[in-house]
Structure 1
Amino acid sequence: MLEGKNVHFIAIGGSAMHNLAICLHRLGNQVSGSDDMFFDPSKGNLKREGLLPEADGWHPNRVDNSLDYVILGMHAKADNPELLKAQELGLPVYSFPEFIYEASKNKKRVVVAGSHGKTSITSMIMHILKEANKDFDYLVGAQLEGFDQMVKLSNAPVIIIEGDEYTTSPLDLTPKFLHYHHDIACISGIAWDHFNVFPTFENYKEQFRKFVELTPTNGKLYYYNGDQELTKIIEDQEGEEERFSPYSEHPNTVRMGKTILKSHGAEYVIEVFGKHNMENLQVAKNILVDLGITESEFYQHIKTFGGAAKRLEKIGENENTIVFKDFAHAPSKLKATSTAVHEQFPDRQTFAVLELHTFSSLNPEFIDQYAHAFDAPENAVVFINPEIMKKKGFELFTQEEIRNAFQREDLLLLCDAEALEKTLLAQNWKNKNLLFMSSGNYGGLNLEKITATILES
């Protein structure tokens, strides 16, 4: 299945899809693909591998009987002309998670799930396995230092999978993580997200209940015991209680802005910080021990883990200010990330900028979920690009509506990149850190330029 095949990708431009396409190409497969539009980094990555289609759009003539199978991305629609052609020809059509399972069903499968922390936990596990010279495959949702791809498939005995609860494909609206059939898994917590797919919190929780129930009799699932909703799902399970094991924050302390792990009388200075990362680190350790990593190996190698891209990523610093960039956008992620920076540097103020960019975060029926999620920073700004709001079919929020939703009276709403830049450059940055949080681009704001200007001042 992994070598010598002729494979076509429908919606090859997606983050995970284009990485899988590159992986299969490097394994010696003939790979083609289509998408209606391409953006960097996938566009540049595909071009370097010789996989970027000559023309954008859907072309049924690219699908014929010479193909061994087709891989279908979530971005495509059910009436996609290439998909219809594949179905007409009777070609095998796999969704992304279905293919990953087929390629790894003879391996030990570790699946990292939860509403937050998935990428961080997955990357911690991957970093330590790599440093310990272990052979493993992986699927992760971010570019990690030391790994040139986000997907690797080989003859390795184990695969580490970041398990997303989002829907599988236009033909299959079940969550991706239900297709991986984990041997070992963890759930970091449950906080309502993907409002466009799961319109109620009950519906959202049900997906995690199904995931828990898929844990095999001889399998293992670790769950964060500080999450009441998650704990209730575990308590509702009948029999084989040894399958489920709770975890909490790894013992630690903070001294002079540095986080130090504590274990059996020893201390280890690490680069990542925040309560949420101490929880992530603990469950990563539990899983790694199950995979044969010793405690001494874990503590030796976790010291060099610098974090995943856009997860409290440090993009600049001087003696007065550190500038961080993070992917946080959902309420639980916002609260964990902004609180982590605030508590790590108690002698400095925190100036935090959150961009509301996703369908859920911009939906008037969901916005109240942000209540008190942005309380920690001394200065808090919400940025909304009016064009994004319009594309998603919503009316622009007023500042009063944003303040009421977040339950914060001094919250500042900005809707123009130039106004945001002026606001940032007008600040006194002595003993003050800056935190950017977004899955978007702040209307085209040049973060590197602004960071350089702030640090030079």
Structure 2
Amino acid sequence: MASLAALLREAGHQVSGSDEGVYPPMSHFLADRGIPVQQGYHPRNLDPVPDLVVIGNALSRGNPEIEWVLNRRIPYTSFPEALKRFFLRGKVPVVVAGTHGKTTTTSMLSWGMEVAGLRPDFLIGGIAENFRSSYGKGGGDHFVVEGDEYDSAFFDKGPKFLHYLPYLAVIGNLEYDHADIYPDLESIKLQFRRLVHLIPTEGFLAVGGESPAALEACAGSLCARETFGLDPGCDWNADGIEMTEGRTCFDVTYRGKAFGRFRMQVVGHYNIRNALAATAVLHRLGVSARDIGRGLESFAGVRRRLQLRAEVGGIRIYEDFAHHPTAVSGTLETVRAAFRPERVWAVYEPRSATSRRNVFQLEIADALAKADCVAIPALFRPDKVPEGERLDLDRLVADLGRRGVAAWNLETVDAIIEKVVAEARPGDLVVLLSNGGFGGIYDKLPAALAGRTETTPGG
């Protein structure tokens, strides 16, 4: 919502808003752009009466501002519908969707188009380091947008991406997620089929060739379609992979013919797949292999995606957004293979609507077992999940213990910090895994480790 507000402000509209708990850096982001935000919800926040109210999907009936808008028949819309109305119409939308990798792929693709001189507009669900922003107005023909399958608003329970007028699209992979709104994988596949059916015959679709559910969802497409992945049967595939900390190299083949050897600063097999997705779309847009390579090599990553936060006393601390078992597994495999630490610590916060539920009780144990040490706090806002559906943390810790993993259910962030400070040693790597603020641990843990170093004899 903040990025949309900034786009609207830069387009010349007067924009204001209200929310609960607006704190830095988002409060600074909005203030720097001249967008006032009121703390809390009250009808007085809508004085003078706006021409249009954009309602976020976190709000529901009973909210005092929503009730005021409805009673006074003020025009209102959802975030995705506003994006379509004000920015996507008249552009060539490029929609990046899938369960994993959307933010990074959208960022890679936007940067690749920028390097190639296509000057895209873009809206990303994270901060792309090359742009130091989550949005941009390049002024070119294309608008690259991260396509979210989450619902649009209380009055529109369909996915956001169905509003985005896809002309070119990426569906990277498809797994069960968003357990609070989707009962099963079939219901998610249905929404992706609907997305695919919106792509015109002259459009283009790049689909992850190693994801059976994604392939099934895309089977009815009427546009040109290409697959990508590490499987040699994909149209776009990669081999000859070399990966070290801060560097990945790989050979790309397109339909059996060598396309180029590429280098990236980001690591992980999942990022190679993201790069292949971006490559497929860039190639479709006429970008040369040389320029694609330039874009990938200079791509600086996305904030909160395996981002180094600190190195203290020989202990590296990384932050990552992973919360789904597949993403957690990929992150832990990557840090072990690329960074080669003495031990891997996974500090995992079950925070998302799905990760707080027991739907992935076994799968998250499998994922976290790729670490040597695991520390977990209490569930985030457990009252929002029915008791019988909650992730059982004691069972999770016991399952990990049976696999030889040192695991602790420590309830609080302070207790986790105390445990890591007491037991981590030089050569260890700590990954902080959460899709939220995690009680400020990203700054608190490095500070605590620094304090330990300062008080160590000879330190």
TM-score by length of 1: 0.86
Structure 2 residue 25 is matched with structure 1 residue 41 = yes
Q: Aligned residue for 1:227?
A: 211
Give the aligned partner of residue 249 of structure 2: 260
SS of corresponding position for 1:28: coil
Cross-structure match for 1:363:
357
SS at match of 1:76: coil
1:290 to 284, 287, 311: 284
Q: CA deviation at 1:186?
A: 0.8
Describe the superposition over 1:201-233 as per-residue Cα deviations: whole angstroms up to 9, x where unpaired.
222222222222222211111111111222233
Which residue number in structure 2 is paired with residue 303 of structure 1?
Answer: 297
Q: Which residue among 95, 99, 105 is the counterpart of 2:78?
A: 95
Q: Which residue of 2 aligns with 1:243?
A: 224
1:95 and 1:245, CA in 2 relative to 1: closer, same or farther beyond 3 A?
A: same
- Give the corresponding residue for 2:333: 339
Question: Partners of 1:450 and 1:131 in 2: how far apart?
Answer: 41
Quote the Cα distance in structure 1 between the aligned partners of 2:16 and 2:313. Answer: 50
Structure 1 residue matching 2:16: 3-state secondary structure: strand
Deviations 1:35-81 (A, max 9, x none): 244233222222333423455322156256x6332211112213434
* Contact 1:381-1:414 at 8 Å conserved across structures: no
How many positions carry a matched residue from both structures? 436
Task: State how far apart, in whole Å, the 1-side matches of 2:214 and 2:159 are.
Answer: 17
CA deviations on 1:100-131 (whole Å, 9 max, x unpaired) are: 11221211100000011000101111222233
Aligned counterpart, 1:397: 392
Unpaired runs of 5+ residues, structure 1, are: 1-16
Contact 1:110 1:184 in 2 (8 A): yes
Match of 1:349 in 2: 343
1:185 to 156, 169, 183: 169
- Is contact 1:352–1:381 with CA below 8 Å preserved after alignment? yes
Matched, 1:21 2:5: yes
Inter-partner Cα distance in structure 1 for 2:181 and 2:125: 20
- Deviations along 1:342-395, one digit per CA (max 9) or x if unpaired, are 222346432222111122211234434425222322x13141235633565647
Contact 1:370 1:405 in 2 (8 A): no
The whole-number CA distance in structure 1 between the counterparts of 2:188 and 2:278 is 24
Selected match of 1:166 from 115, 140, 150: 150
Residue matched to 1:431? 427
Once residues 50 and 59 of structure 2 are traced to their aligned partners in structure 1, the CA distance between those partners, rounded to angstroms, is 19
Equivalent position of 1:380 in the other structure: 373
Q: How does 1:181-220 map to 2 (within 5 A)?
A: 181-220=165-204
**Residues 52/123 of structure 1: CA separation in 2 closer, same or farther (3 Å cut):** same
Whichever residue aligns with residue 378 of structure 2, its letter is N
Matched residues, percent identical? 27
Q: 2:96 aligns to what?
A: 112
Per the normalisation by structure 2, the TM-score is 0.85
- CA shift, 1:198, in A, is 0.8
The verdict on how the C-alpha distance between 1:156 and 1:418 changes in structure 2, with shifts beyond 3 A counting, is same
Alignment pair present for 1:78 and 2:61: yes
Structure 2 Cα separation of the partners of residues 252 and 385 of structure 1: 42
- Does the C-alpha gap of structure 1 residues 455 and 117 become closer, same or farther in structure 2, counting only changes over 3 Å? farther
Deviation at residue 247 of structure 1 after TM alignment: 0.7
SS at match of 1:182: coil
Closer, same or farther: CA 246–154 of 1 in aligned 2, 3 Å: closer
Q: 1:37 to 1:350 in 2, by over 3 A?
A: closer
d(CA) in 1 for partners of 2:39, 2:307: 35
Q: Check the 8 A contact 1:368/1:405 in 2, yes or no.
A: no
CA positional deviation for 1:406 = 10
Amino acid at match of 1:82: E
Q: 1:178 to 1:265 in 2, by over 3 A?
A: closer
**1:34 and 1:292, CA in 2 relative to 1: closer, same or farther beyond 3 A?**
same
1:41 maps to amino acid: P
Structure 2 CA distance for aligned equivalents of residues 383 and 82 of structure 1: 37
Gaps of 5+ in 2: 231-237, 253-257
1:204 to 1:382, Cα distance in 2 relative to 1, 3 A: farther
Deviation at 1:251, TM superposition (A): 2.9
Q: Tell whether the 8 Å contact from 1:403 to 1:409 is kept in structure 2 after alignment.
A: no
Sort the Cα spacing of 1:407 and 1:147 in 2 relative to 1 into closer, same or farther, 3 A: farther
Question: What is aligned with 1:271?
Answer: 265
Structure 1 residues 131 and 424: CA distance shift in structure 2, 3 A: same
Change (3 A) 1:366 1:156: same
Contact kept? 1:317, 1:455, Cα under 8 Å: no
- Higher mean alpha-carbon deviation, 141-150 vs 299-308, is at 141-150
Deviation at 1:245, TM superposition (A): 1.5
